[in-house]
Amino acid sequence: MNLILLQPDDFISECRVRLSDHRREHIQKVHRAEVGAILSVGLLNGNMGTGTLVGINETSVELEVELKHAPPPALPLTLILALPRPKMLKRTLQTITAMGVKKLVLINSYRVEKSYWQTPILNPENLREQLILGLEQAKDTILPEVRIEKRFKPFVEDELKSLIAGTRALLAHPKTDELCPSQIHEPATLAIGPEGGFIEYEVEKLTEIGFGAVHIGPRILRVENAVPALLARLF
């Protein structure tokens, strides 16, 4: 936890917060902070700054906070991601949040097993937990927007074309000759398939509405590795 992420209801006065949950335990046991210590803090969906530890006991800690700095800029990217297997989904949610993705659409695909959609990770509270872990890791405060689309064809045909308008639409697909661009300076939409990739029908539907297929080399990566590799290359 590189950032102590604060919620509005943590405030007991305009500039003071009281923490009595896992954050209190982290401050005491991991940071081993004592009164007077200065910690990095941020208000969820708000500014960042510092918190000075002014009180500590067995059940809570109190910080005087000063929030004057904006969070780091978001990536100008919408990520379209075929739902990964649950264990991989947790890590991927944390990774994309830490890297600055603020718009994520989880979609269905032929190679996404139906059982994946039953995972408790997709419950709003559990999704939020993974996103917050990513924010705490990267020292960011702005929660990503996560959208879930369980029907591939209606989403692509009825909504995705308008979603990619004004962006560079890229499809990660190993069976193409086009190398993924690097260090782009424009908004982008990136589609990444499941393990095994999108089937040809899905690739055709995506290219029909304006996606350009690109690859990042001859090696086939797991989704959890392909996502940060692609984001790092693009931005």
Assigned CATH topology for domain 77-234:
Alpha/beta knot (3.40.1280)
Tell me which CATH code domain 4-69 carries: 2.40.240.20
Query: For residues 69 and 49, is the Cβ–Cβ distance under 8 A?
Result: yes
Measured distance CA(66)–CA(132) in Å, rounded? 21
Beta pairing partners, 65: 51
E strand intervals along 91-211: 103-107, 145-149, 168-172, 188-192
| Domain definitions of the chain by residue range | 4-69, 77-234
Q: Would you state the pLDDT for residue 138? A: 97
Whole-model pTM: value is 0.93
Query: For residues 60 and 16, is the Cβ–Cβ distance under 8 A?
Result: no
Parallel, antiparallel, or unpaired: how do β-strands 16-19 and 61-69 relate? antiparallel
Query: For residues 63 and 41, is the Cβ–Cβ distance under 8 A?
Result: yes
For the chain, the average pLDDT equals 96
90: amino acid identity, one letter: K
pLDDT category of residue 21 using cuts at 50, 70 and 90: very high
Q: Would you state the pLDDT for residue 149? A: 97
pLDDT above 90 coverage of the chain, percent: 96
> What is residue 126's three-state secondary structure?
helix
Strands, sheet with 4-6, edge to edge from the N-terminal-most edge strand: 4-6, 38-43, 48-56, 61-69, 16-19, 11-13
Reported as a single tens digit per residue, the pLDDT across 124-178 is 999 999 999 999 999 999 999 999 999 999 999 999 999 999 999 999 998 899 9
Q: Would you state the pLDDT for residue 174? A: 87
Reported as a single tens digit per residue, the pLDDT across 110-129 is 999 999 999 999 999 999 99
Q: Counting beta carbons within 10 angstroms of the beta carbon of residue 208, is it exposed (0 to 12), middle (13 to 18) or buried (19 or more)?
A: exposed
169: amino acid identity, one letter: A
